[in-house]
Structure 1
């Protein structure tokens, strides 16, 4: 009997051939029944999806159906996996269905949907195009293709914004390096938020400055030094331009590396999630060992600002580590 034949042996008698034909027919019948049973489970709702997948898997494992029929079962299983959110499995099943039957439009559609859900937009677009090449009038594929194109456009716009923010941050760091300035950890973000210097088209750095009034436990954030309007809280007009002196704290803080400064400047932008910054990575590693040393080995002290000097000259003082943005105390 064929059931007792050794593995790999060829049937020798008509009886053995008949037995093999009968076994093949039984397996084919079982596979088709399992397919239909799986379809019924799908119609019964989400609670029965796992049973549907089990039926489809058993049908495939019979290895008794034609490539076209097996392709349909893989496509059906992909459909259920999509409904369950198993997008990786859905994509794998769809790809198997396409291999077995390159004309299976549902497989292309489900492969595209799975790829889209996995954020594989290029692959999703490719599956749509291949499906539409076979049937240009397929409405579902057309709609899905339009959605994917929209997502691709959104991604390109986002990438352009990220690139612009990163370029701006690198430009700031380069300008700061050229001027010999030292940047430390931001100390006053609860007062200033994520404010940072601005590099204009003429390569001029514009620094916001925080004034800290220790006597009255208040502060003033200055973005334009030419604005000399009186302080709204200074009712007695004590803090006038002619009556105050400015001081900065020297010898405190730790210089940040280039990589750390770029990361700080990217805060609050669309590029804040970046962990690597391209060509500057090597430079950042090299500079970090030097930058981690404090310039305040002899302790910190408050130094009076010579008002005849520019802000740029003050910021370049050897022991002045800018705490994110300059902070001065009247």
Structure 2
């Protein structure tokens, strides 16, 4: 169609250059808008602008429209944005928030252009601080002035700086208080969950009081009453702690000990609902650890034990049981917030020697105690 139109126009003898110039005067066909709109040269464009910025509207609405226009220009043309923001400020509307935005946005446009000028021409903007949330932006504008060599550190400016730092300090204090309250609430929820599960914690400086088996049940309940979370942190370098997830499932840092090779494995988040076999299958699957040179550590060949710190004995663990079942065993005390388990190769010479030197509760008896 355009090619046909061009051919018809050429045949009719119309000057295409003149036609293009005439089209450029029509706002709908303008390729670029003029820097400044002269009503004498561009009456149609001036009419459109007057519709947008109708002088009959309240000053607040006019300033708001110029602010929005400046924001649109800001994406592509900082100079035009400055013109719009300045026009908005000239309206002298009573909305301090809009005026503050016009000032700060104009300052941002000048900053991107690298313009050296007085960003805030009047310290009367102090009043904006009382009615708007743009104190930080105002301070940045003043700092830009300082960088441009405009020295404005007199009494009103110092007062404004003092107010800014005072607000910042108050905000930081409130954030710290909210954070502390949240952490306290999480600690209380975790402590309640540990008590509810009947899990016993043993701090590094504490040893469980010796008691007879008949006293175990009552003693465990009394121990729960005095439970706290001080020092409930992994002794590993990571400092990982037990935590509750959004579903209320507890995850523990767990340490596996391999005394035969003096090696360890650290699991940072062992779900209480996961079994030991789940982890052992992953850890000793197709790729065995480099220290297992004889390839003895396969899941079906392993025996697990936890240590009874009071009676200095070992209790065998059923690897198919979930972690929570073992932690609820009345002879299981969690030291420094990290359950630890000894792993041996069943029937190996080292295993037989290691167990012969220690009191050992076999799996059947250990499971009977836990019920």
Structure 2-normalised TM-score? 0.37
Higher radius of gyration, 1 or 2 = 2
**TM-score of the two chains, using structure 1 as the length reference:** 0.41
Q: Which structure features the higher share of strand residues?
A: 2
